[in-house]
């Protein structure tokens, strides 16, 4: 018996896969969004952000966590900050460079199309988190501050001057949009 895994990655060139998928995806009418329930498993940075965004769009959202509290998510232990290819320092950062550094940092084991999509939307993710009230560090002129961190060859890591992940997860869970009280019993 053989098992075939289907990752359901869209077909096409690596730079066009997700753009083509988004163009062909069916849309949900605004009046019908409340009819759908979205289940998010995990309350780290990705799960909390996804849950808050889906709730803001009008979907019913249930969030499940294995931990006692959403603030016990693994993202709290993260160091450094969040990478995005915004090129604030003018040091030549780009989507392609972030893509390559991420693939390289993952020992070339990552799904390339997913990493490319992550690099593409990284700029918007930082902007979304700022709009949701995440207090990233700022320069004296008011622009977001960033730094080179870890294996990055350019300054692309956006951070808070305190416990970044705790601040980010705390801010996202404070939006009150999804039901944060749920807990997954069997994980």
State the architecture of 34-80+162-187 in CATH terms. Answer: 3-Layer(bba) Sandwich (3.50)
Average pLDDT for runs of 10 along the chain of length 187: 80 84 88 93 83 91 80 64 86 91 88 90 88 83 85 83 59 54 41
The tokens for 20 are 């083509």
Please give the pLDDT value at position 167. 59
Please give the pLDDT value at position 89. 83
Residues 6+ apart with CB under 8 A from 14: 112, 113, 116
Q: Where are the domains of the chain?
A: 34-80+162-187, 82-159
Going by the DSSP 8-state scheme, the letter that residue 140 receives in this structure is: T
The tokens for 146 are 């960033």
- pTM, to two decimals: 0.68
Nearest Cα residue to 147 out of 159, 138, 131, 136 = 159
Please give the pLDDT value at position 184. 42
Say if residue 31 is exposed, middle or buried (CB neighbours under 10 Å; 0-12, 13-18, 19+).
exposed
Please give the pLDDT value at position 73. 65
Establish how many alpha carbons lie within 13 A of residue 169's alpha carbon, considering only the half-sphere containing its beta carbon: 22
């Amino acid at each position: 018996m053989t098992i075939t895994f289907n990752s359901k990655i869209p077909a096409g060139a690596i730079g066009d896969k997700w753009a083509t998928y988004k163009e062909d995806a069916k849309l949900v009418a605004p009046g019908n969004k409340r009819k759908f329930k979205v289940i998010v498993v995990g309350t780290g940075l990705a799960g909390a952000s996804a849950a808050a965004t889906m709730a803001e769009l009008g979907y019913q959202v249930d969030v499940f966590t294995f931990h006692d509290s959403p603030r016990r998510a693994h993202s709290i232990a993260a160091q450094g900050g969040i990478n995005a290819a915004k090129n604030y320092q003018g040091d030549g950062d780009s989507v392609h460079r972030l893509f390559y550094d991420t693939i390289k940092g993952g020992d070339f084991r990552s799904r390339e199309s997913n990493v490319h999509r992550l690099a593409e939307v990284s700029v918007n993710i930082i902007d979304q988190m700022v709009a949701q009230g995440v207090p990233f560090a700022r320069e004296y002129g008011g622009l977001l501050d960033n730094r080179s961190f870890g294996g990055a060859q350019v300054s692309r890591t956006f951070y808070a001057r305190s416990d970044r992940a705790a601040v980010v997860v705390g801010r996202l869970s404070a939006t009150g949009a999804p039901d944060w009280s749920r807990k997954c019993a069997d994980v």
